[in-house]
């Protein structure tokens, strides 16, 4: 398995910071709606804590709202999937072309140990792909020329290249933030019995 953190987990664009900042503001509003101090501490620790990272922080860096609404699932295995990443991350992998992403130009393996994504004649390493301004997809046809090399990669090799999210878990940032709000309202209303206190 490739259990390490997403490549460049602490690297964020200004857009990423703003969106996570909006989630933090929403968390603060939800926190204020809970009057019981013990319940408020529980909600803050388990649900509303925010981490300014791509992967919701290591271990328990962020609460369940950020981990489940803003980030993809934790993934392991011999593949370049991020072990959590922001759902609006611009590089996805899919079995076939998808309407909301352009195919990359080609995939290269540099020095037998580093993936390089060639997009519009520019080379992007795993630690750089978060900067892409549009969504791109890596397809089976991009991987096939490199199967003989990739099948020998170790867990460490895959972890060093974990920078892609599955297309099925990708979404626009506003849908991820909307999920954050809906889940947050459901949790404070159900688990902490807060009703009609959020304006």
pLDDT (tens digit, 9 = 90+) per residue, 21-77? Answer: 999 999 999 999 999 999 999 999 999 999 999 999 866 789 999 999 999 987 766
CB 83 within 8 A of CB 130: no
CB 72 within 8 A of CB 87: yes
| pLDDT single digits (tens) 116-140 | 999 999 999 999 999 999 999 999 9
Q: How far apart are CA 181 and CA 198, in angstroms?
A: 12
Burial 84-100 (b: 16+ CB within 10 A, else e): bbbbbbbbbbbeeebee
């Amino acid at each position: 398995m490739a259990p390490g953190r997403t490549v460049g987990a602490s690297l964020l664009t200004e857009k990423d910071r703003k969106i996570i900042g909006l989630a933090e503001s929403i968390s603060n509003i939800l926190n204020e709606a809970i009057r019981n101090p013990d319940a408020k501490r529980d909600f803050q620790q388990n649900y509303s804590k925010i981490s300014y990272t791509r992967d919701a922080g290591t271990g328990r860096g962020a609460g369940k709202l950020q981990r489940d609404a803003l980030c993809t699932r934790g993934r392991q295995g011999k593949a370049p999937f991020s072990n959590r990443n922001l759902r609006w991350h611009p590089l996805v992998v899919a079995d076939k072309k998808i309407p909301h992403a352009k195919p990359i130009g080609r995939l290269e393996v540099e020095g037998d140990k580093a993936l390089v994504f060639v997009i519009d004649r520019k080379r992007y390493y795993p630690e750089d792909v978060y900067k892409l301004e549009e969504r791109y997809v890596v397809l089976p046809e991009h991987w096939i020329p490199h199967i003989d090399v990739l099948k020998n990669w170790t867990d460490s090799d895959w972890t060093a290249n974990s920078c892609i999210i599955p297309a099925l878990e990708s979404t626009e940032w506003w849908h991820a933030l909307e999920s954050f709000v809906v889940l947050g309202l459901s949790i404070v209303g159900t688990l902490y019995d807060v009703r009609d206190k959020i304006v």
